[in-house]
Structure 1
Amino acid sequence: MGRVRRNRSYKLAKLHDRRSRELPFNAAVAEVEVDNPLALDPDEKILAMRSVRNDPLGRLHSHHQIDEAQYRGGRAYQNDWERAERGPQAVDTTREYVDGAGTREPVTEGQRQAVLRLNRVERELGTDGAALVYDVLVLGLTMDQIGQRRAVRTQRWNDYFARRFRECLDRLALIYGFATEAGGQRAELRR
């Protein structure tokens, strides 16, 4: 009969390991550190997996091609765009049914502020920069696809679009307040 070990220490991390062991065949994921929703301490972080397959901004950030300020500036732009757009909406079943055409929902203050910020972004980036940021952050296009839309298909143009996109992300970080011009900005932005 074997001897029972009673001094063994148990680690709670092994007991509550909820990470997925198997990923789908075509998964593109990156590890990110997020706030633990079940933590008692508000500063506790956990590692989570984020899908970056249809997220060009997340892919650039996970591969360390853009910094945190650029990433947050891009996410703020995406948030403003989603808030400002007024597209097809679901039918609200809680509202009273009335025959005839439905009235339009009034523009909320959040939508108005988002549109004002987007107008400022377009003025700061210029027409070409705003179109490039829209293509990447809203439509999710790659630099190769942007080149195809503009009828320029060489690697040199792809490199130009990538460099120009990073400059636009620098400007977005400044506009949304995630970076300061005098502080940690690159020399390319000051030219």
Structure 2
Amino acid sequence: MARARRNKSYRLTELHDRRSRVLPFNAEVTEAEVDNPLALDSDEKIMAMRSIRNDPLGRLHSHRQIDEAQYRGGRAYQNDWERAERGPQAMDPTRKYVDGTRSREPLTERQRQAVLRLNRVERELGTDGAALVHDVLVLGLTMDQIGQRRAVRTQRWNDYFARRFRECLDRLALVYGFATDVSARHR
């Protein structure tokens, strides 16, 4: 009689690479380290692919043109803008239908705090800086598109807008507490 074969263990002995191998032809992705949603420890990180096609801040960070504090300051600005925005909203079918008009929902404390931070950011950046940051971080415009909107289309203006945007990101990092003022330390 033949001897029974021993089955292999079903333990996972090696890690599996779950990254996509096939991407669309117009995909622009980069690797990013994110929190592992399936981890038992809260500190565990995994590498994930992040799309940077419509994300100018993510593109600058992945190409090492801005540092981590500038990146986090820009993300904090985007987060505050999304929280404070009270644009068009979908109808809530769970609410009572009365006459078709909707009353405005009251402002939450988080929205109020976001508006206060955005007002402080606008004071810190000035009118031109706030408009530039809004164009890039909220509208997702490139430096070429910003130049076209302002009727200046030379490379020198594009370089100026890029340099000014990085200065605004430095200021955002200071306002949101991701960086410290170097000039105050030297005084």
Quick check: TM above 0.5?
yes
- With 147-156 and 36-45 compared, the bigger mean Cα shift is at 36-45
C-alpha displacement of 1:108: 1.2
RMSD across aligned C-alpha pairs, in angstroms? Answer: 2.1
Q: 1:65 to 1:97 in 2, by over 3 A?
A: same
SS of 1:60's partner is helix
For 1:49 and 1:97, locate their aligned partners in 2 and report how far apart those are by CA, in whole Å.
44
Counterparts of 1:29-178 in structure 2, within 5 Å, are: 29-178=29-178
SS of 1:12's partner is coil
Q: Match of 1:78, as an amino acid?
A: Q
Flag structure 1 segments of 5+ consecutive residues without an equivalent.
Answer: 1-5
For 1:87 and 1:103, locate their aligned partners in 2 and report how far apart those are by CA, in whole Å.
14
Flag structure 2 segments of 5+ consecutive residues without an equivalent.
Answer: 1-7
For 1:170 and 1:106, locate their aligned partners in 2 and report how far apart those are by CA, in whole Å.
34
For 1:44 and 1:12, locate their aligned partners in 2 and report how far apart those are by CA, in whole Å.
17
C-alpha displacement of 1:100: 4.7
For 2:38 and 2:139, locate their aligned partners in 1 and report how far apart those are by CA, in whole Å.
35
Provide Cα deviations, 1:28-85, integer angstroms capped at 9, x if missing partner: 0010011111122322211100000000000000000000000000000000101111
Q: 1:11 to 1:123 in 2, by over 3 A?
A: same
Identity level (%): 84
SS of 1:87's partner is coil
For 1:143 and 1:40, locate their aligned partners in 2 and report how far apart those are by CA, in whole Å.
43
Q: Hey, what does 1:3 align to over in structure 2?
A: none
Provide Cα deviations, 1:129-176, integer angstroms capped at 9, x if missing partner: 000000000000000100011111110000000000000000000000
User: Hey, which bits of structure 1, 4+ residues long, moved more than 4 A?
Assistant: none
Q: Match of 1:12, as an amino acid?
A: E
For 2:104 and 2:113, locate their aligned partners in 1 and report how far apart those are by CA, in whole Å.
19
Q: Match of 2:127, as an amino acid?
A: T
SS of 1:19's partner is coil
TM-score under structure 2 length normalisation: 0.89
